[in-house]
């Protein structure tokens, strides 16, 4: 897991409007699992999903989420190609990469391209929710 330092703690944000999240992963079953795990916390709302980066860019522009949970390895347009395009269209959105690849150099590359956080698939739901919460909070404070 590669998380830049931020202030604050993760967890639920039920005291305010839920954080809107757009899911991007080419495995529909994984998107369903993530959606199920996110929606058990009233502090989060899934506003859209896509199976590739190209479709995600249009969906993100339409839904204007606070955060994007993005896989790297996808058909048509991968996460590395999508990150700068998403960032260009919406500089305020928090981009959290959730990848099957270990952080290392790929995590550093994703962060250099404009991602806010890098998580490895398999992280517990509370870690994913905390990373999204912290990334959104940091973007809103900037």
Question: Is residue 103 situated within a structural domain?
Answer: yes
How many CB atoms lie under 10 A from the CB of residue 42?
A: 10
- Domain-embedded: residue 76: yes
Q: Is residue 133 part of a domain?
A: no
Integer angstrom CA distances of residue 47 from 56, 60, 87, 104 = 12, 9, 18, 30
Distances in Å between the Cα of 140 and the Cα atoms of 47, 66, 67, 108, 115 are 19, 9, 11, 23, 15
pLDDT (0 to 100) of residue 35:
94
Identify the domain containing residue 102 by its residue range: 19-125
pLDDT digits (tens, 9 = 90+) for 61-96: 999 999 999 999 999 999 999 999 999 999 999 999
User: What confidence tens digit (pLDDT) does each residue in 22-33 have?
Assistant: 999 999 999 999
Residue 25, domain member (yes or no): yes
**3-state percent breakdown (helix, strand, coil) of the chain, nearest 5:** 45, 20, 35
Number of domains in the chain: 1
107 found inside a domain: yes
Q: What is the mean pLDDT of residues 94-112?
A: 90
Rounded Cα distance, 104 and 63, in Å: 32
* In contact, 119 and 138? CB cutoff 8 Å: no
At 7-16, the pLDDT tens digits run: 333 333 445 7
Could you tell me the CATH number of the domain that includes residue 88? 3.40.50.2300
Asked, for residue 142, whether it belongs to a domain, the answer is no
Mean pLDDT across the chain: 89
Q: Residue 42: inside a domain, yes or no?
A: yes
């Amino acid at each position: 897991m590669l998380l830049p330092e931020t202030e604050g703690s993760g967890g639920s944000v039920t005291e305010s409007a839920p954080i809107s999240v757009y899911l991007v992963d080419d495995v529909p079953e994984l998107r369903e699992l993530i959606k199920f795990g996110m929606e058990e916390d009233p502090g989060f709302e899934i506003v859209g999903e896509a199976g590739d980066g190209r479709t995600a860019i249009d969906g993100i522009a339409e839904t204007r989420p606070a955060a994007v949970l993005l896989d790297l390895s996808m058909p048509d347009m991968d996460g590395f190609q999508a990150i700068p395009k998403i960032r260009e269209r919406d500089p305020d959105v928090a981009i959290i990469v959730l990848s099957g690849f270990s952080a290392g150099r790929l995590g550093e590359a994703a962060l250099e391209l404009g991602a806010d956080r890098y998580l490895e698939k398999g992280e517990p739901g509370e870690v994913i929710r905390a990373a999204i919460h912290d990334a959104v909070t940091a973007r809103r404070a900037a």
